[in-house]
Amino acid sequence: MRTIVDQIRDYSAYHRDGRNKISHFIGVPLIIYALFVALGWFRFVAPELLPFPLTAATLFLLGVTIYYAKLDLGLALGQLPFTLALLYAAEQTSILPFRTSVATCGATFVGGWIIQLIGHAFEGRRPALVDNLLQVFNAPLFLLVEVLFSLGLRQSLRAQVGELHGAD
C-alpha cells in the first residue's frame, strides 16, 4: 500500500491552481453526499435495531475510514466528523420519496462534477482520477490536508509532500 505522502503528493500534482482547489471544496462534498444518498437506498438492518441505520453508505464509510486510518490515523479522525455530517444529511435524503431522493442525488452528483471540471479547466489539467480511478478516494484527505497546511499544521507532512502548494 502506498504511503499518505505518496497519495497526497500525486493528488497535489493535479491541484496546484487555487481556483481548482476551491472548486474541490464545493464539488467533492457534493459528490460524496450524492454517493451516500445512492448507497443509502440499500438498507441491511432496520434503524430501530441499531443506533444508526446500517446501509451500503455506512459500510462504504467504514471501509474508507479503515483505509484512511491505515494511511494516517490522525487524518482519518480529522476527516471523520465532516464525512459523518455528509452521511447524516444523505441519510435524510435517501429516505425521502424515491423520486425526490433520485432527483436530489442526480442534481448534486452532476453539479459536483461540473464544479470539479470547471476547476480543472482553470488548472489546465484533467482530473487525477482519469489517470488512476483510485485517486477519487484521496480527494477528501487532500482537502483536509490543504486546510491543515493553511493553518500551519502537519508541517512535517507538508515537508515530505514537497512544496507543491506554493504554485497557486
| Domain residue spans of the chain | 4-163
Q: How many CB atoms lie within 10 A of CB 74?
A: 15
CB 129 within 8 A of CB 10: no
pTM (two decimals): 0.89
3-state helix, strand, coil in the chain (%, to 5): 80, 5, 20
Q: What is the mean pLDDT of residues 46-68?
A: 86
User: In this prediction, what percent of the chain has a pLDDT beyond 70?
Assistant: 93
Q: What is the pLDDT of residues 74-116, one digit of tens each?
A: 999 999 999 999 999 999 999 999 999 999 999 999 999 999 9
